[in-house]
Structure 1
Amino acid sequence: MGVEGRERVRGLEAGAQELSGHLGKTIQRLRKAYNLSLSELAEQSGVAKSIISQIERNETNPTLATIWRLSQALDVSIERVLATAEDDPFIEKSSKGDTPILVSDDGRMRLAIIGWIKTVEWLQWYDVAAEPGGVLESDAHQRGSIESLSVRTGEFEVEVAGIVQHARAGETLRYRCDRPHIVRCVGDGPGEASMVCILKAAVME
């Protein structure tokens, strides 16, 4: 284990007592941010599915080794997520290396998760970078969810239920994402955009 790894272990040890009361909810939010099932997180972390389930329900006090494995699998410093009390003022900085990245099935579109992990159950936002022809296909979110795609460079199109709309730099598309939807980079060059997803929004008529 390198110096950086040892420093993270020391940080976990120092905050272990504080983590114990909030770890379950944090692990669950992190897992959902990556769209991981319990089985998938268990496979990636080496921690048994039953143990992760108990941790998420705050039914067990995990060992330091277990916390370490889960934080490594989720690529997020758990002690930093929980280091500040809810009502205290704070400034939190995430480095490029700490920012989780999602990649589309075709490998041509990358979504950096820049939203706050504590809001992931109702508000998510991403920095989108796409190569020409990149396609991101998404399953439906819960009913009433709305997504917003603001294009910074290039050209994108969004398809929802057979309806297709284009947007260029400076334009924004807002659409229901509670049904399967597709985002495509359709310009001649690469494209960049910001994507915000509001979950559990007011149901649209």
Structure 2
Amino acid sequence: MGIEGRDKQKIMEAGALALSGQLGVTVQRLRKAYNLSLSELSQQSGVAKSIISQIERNETNPTLATIWRLAQALDVSIERVLQTTADDPFLEKTSKAETPILVSDDGKCRLAIIGWIKTVEWLQCYEFSADSGGVLESEAHQRGSVESLSVREGELEVEVAGAKSSVKAGETLRYRCDRPHIIRNRGVAPARATMVCIMKAAAME
């Protein structure tokens, strides 16, 4: 199981919950700054004209994928598209009940998505927990991606392309995650860790 495929789609859809109410105003301002009509922005982004119009009027909650396409078409970073004003304080809290949880196929591993939903395309952060015997199998992320696993409790084993390494409480293991990789809890006690995945896009900014 990884953050690709259906799990990634779930996260992108959940991104709508985190969007600022200023998104529509920001998109409209940037579109007009580039002297683009709704039709022209639609052609460049691949987002339907009617959807862009609804976004600008704050009549819809677009997915992160839609915002990403608009940001690419407007040639600006997604942070700018989502930004309100530079002087506004930023405080955003997610409750435990609102934190999305992904579960491994064997039901013994859990990934709580604690990273900012708006940065999922280049930075992903999780609280990882695994019961004894738990196995998390992940698909390859985009080429050049690196994962960092900091164990807080217990001991985990990471396997990447046949190479294996164990990591204990207080230790951090970094490894390429642009190929299938597996995390196992071979111990008798539960294990907990913080996982950060840095996608290639982040290194290219």
Q: Deviation of residue 122 (structure 1)?
A: 0.9
- The separation in 1 between residues aligned to 2:84 and 2:109, in whole angstroms, is 34
SS state at 2:97 partner: helix
Counterparts of 1:1-205 in structure 2 under 5 Å? Answer: 18-20=22-24, 54=47, 59-61=52-54, 67=61, 85=85, 88-200=88-200
Q: Unpaired segments of 5 or more residues in structure 1?
A: 1-11, 24-52, 71-81
Deviations 1:6-50 (A, max 9, x none): xxxxxx9xx86x343579xxxxxxxxxxxxxxxxxxxxxxxxxxx
With over 3 angstroms needed to count, the CA separation of the structure-2 counterparts of 1:149 and 1:59, relative to structure 1, is same
Deviations 1:152-173 (A, max 9, x none): 0011000000001001111111
Q: Percent identity?
A: 61
Deviating more after overlay: 120-129 vs 84-93: 84-93
- The separation in 2 between residues aligned to 1:55 and 1:113, in whole angstroms, is 30
Deviations 1:131-177 (A, max 9, x none): 11111111111111000111100110000000010011111111000
- The separation in 2 between residues aligned to 1:151 and 1:143, in whole angstroms, is 25
- Count of residues in correspondence between the two structures: 148
Q: Unpaired segments of 5 or more residues in structure 2?
A: 1-16, 28-45, 64-81
Deviations 1:82-140 (A, max 9, x none): 69546522121111011111111111100110011122111111001111111111111
- The separation in 1 between residues aligned to 2:51 and 2:194, in whole angstroms, is 35
* Corresponding letter in the other structure for 1:112: A
* More relative contact order, 1 or 2 (CA 8 Å, 6+ apart): 2
Q: TM-score, normalised by structure 1?
A: 0.62
* Corresponding letter in the other structure for 2:136: L
* Corresponding letter in the other structure for 2:24: S
Q: Determine if contact 1:129/1:190 at 8 Å carries over to the other structure.
A: yes
Q: Deviation of residue 55 (structure 1)?
A: 6.7
Q: TM-score, normalised by structure 2?
A: 0.62
With over 3 angstroms needed to count, the CA separation of the structure-2 counterparts of 1:57 and 1:132, relative to structure 1, is farther
- The separation in 1 between residues aligned to 2:23 and 2:184, in whole angstroms, is 41
With over 3 angstroms needed to count, the CA separation of the structure-2 counterparts of 1:95 and 1:56, relative to structure 1, is farther
